[in-house]
């Protein structure tokens, strides 16, 4: 995916519009098309856009969904609930969307009215529909929250797999394991128990994927404890 266009159809709430501007800045979405002839409360939009209020002027207002969908390589209509007919119409859950859209250049994601969603005619202009999996009980998400989840899924989640702190190198973690193991050999008599203890510590340490800093500190304490026990024994 080279670019994502958010297409808002007849959005009713100014607060939602403001929040969507903010979300665009949060996740780096560049295009918002608004198919609407409504008048909005500009003050409210800017208030809820907070530091993304500069994006207000970049909203492209058009008078038809066809216009908003021009240049789209793939058109996805979001729906609050995958009804049986939608399933037949090829509904892709939000979780599966990144894989699918990754193959397209320009992706257009269409969001309907807060009250009634998209009409059948509007839905028919999309290549497929997509739904966020929710509880059965109350599947209708607030519009801005729905946009938040789609932007997260499409623009952030799939790109962030590399995020997080890098783990310490193997030898550093082994250093802590070996100090722990040294301590075990002093406080446990049974060699089987020692072995099990080393394994438990090793599993915890490696599974935690500790940062260099974290494991260094822990290894330092364990090494000192080991030396203390040794020097005590030799007295």
124 counts as binding its own copies under rule CB under 8 A? no
Report the nearest approach of its own copies to the CB of residue 142 (Å): 6
Encoded one letter per residue, x for contact with its own copies by CB under 8 A and - for no contact, window 38-77 reads ----------x-xxx-------------------------
Task: Provide the 3-class DSSP secondary structure of residue 74.
Answer: strand
Report the nearest approach of its own copies to the CB of residue 41 (Å): 14
Question: Stretches 35-43, 58-66, 69-77, 196-204: which one binds its own copies (CB under 8 A)?
Answer: 196-204
Report the nearest approach of its own copies to the CB of residue 66 (Å): 25
Q: Please give the DSSP secondary-structure letter assigned to residue 94.
A: G
Question: Stretches 58-66, 69-77, 117-125, 212-220: which one binds its own copies (CB under 8 A)?
Answer: 212-220
Report the nearest approach of its own copies to the CB of residue 64 (Å): 29
135 counts as binding its own copies under rule CB under 8 A? yes
**Quick one: 224 exposed, middle or buried, by C-beta within 10 A (0-12, 13-18, 19+)?**
exposed
Q: Count CA within 13 A, CB hemisphere, residue 106.
A: 11
Q: Count CA within 13 A, CB hemisphere, residue 100.
A: 20
Q: Which residues of the chain form beta strands (DSSP E)?
A: 3-9, 31-35, 60-62, 74-78, 91-93, 106-111, 128-131
Return d(Cα 163, Cα 156) in angstroms, integer: 11
83 counts as binding its own copies under rule CB under 8 A? no
> Terminal CA-to-CA distance of the chain, rounded, Å?
69
Question: Stretches 34-42, 61-69, 117-125, 129-137: which one binds its own copies (CB under 8 A)?
Answer: 129-137
183 counts as binding its own copies under rule CB under 8 A? yes
Report the nearest approach of its own copies to the CB of residue 134 (Å): 5
Return d(Cα 9, Cα 86) in angstroms, integer: 19
Query: Is there a contact between 133 and 93 (Cβ–Cβ < 8 Å)?
Result: yes
How many residues make contact with its own copies (CB under 8 A)? 77
Question: Residue 2 or residue 161: which is nearer to its own copies going by CB?
Answer: 161
Question: Stretches 3-11, 64-72, 117-125, 216-224: which one binds its own copies (CB under 8 A)?
Answer: 216-224
């Amino acid at each position: 995916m080279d670019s994502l266009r958010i297409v808002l159809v007849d959005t009713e709430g100014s607060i939602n519009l403001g929040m969507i501007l903010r979300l665009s800045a949060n996740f780096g979405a560049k295009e918002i098309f608004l198919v609407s002839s409504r008048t909005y409360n500009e003050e409210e939009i800017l208030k809820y856009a907070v530091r993304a209020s500069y994006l207000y002027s970049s909203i492209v207002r058009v008078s038809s969904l066809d216009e908003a969908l021009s240049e789209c390589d793939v058109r996805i209509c979001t729906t609050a609930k995958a009804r049986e007919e939608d399933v037949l119409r090829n509904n892709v859950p939000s979780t599966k969307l990144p894989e699918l859209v990754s193959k397209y250049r320009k992706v257009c994601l269409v969001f309907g009215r807060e009250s009634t969603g998209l009409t059948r005619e509007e839905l028919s202009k999309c290549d497929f529909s997509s739904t966020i999996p929710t509880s059965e009980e109350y599947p209708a998400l607030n519009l801005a929250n729905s946009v938040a989840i789609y932007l997260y899924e499409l623009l952030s989640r799939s790109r962030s797999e590399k995020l997080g702190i890098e783990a310490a190198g193997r030898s550093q973690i082994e250093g802590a394991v070996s100090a722990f193991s040294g301590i075990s050999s002093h406080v446990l008599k049974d060699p089987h128990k020692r072995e099990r203890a080393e394994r438990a510590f090793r599993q915890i340490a490696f599974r935690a994927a500790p940062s260099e800093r974290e494991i260094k500190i822990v290894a330092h304490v364990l090494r000192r404890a080991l030396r203390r026990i040794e020097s005590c024994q030799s007295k």
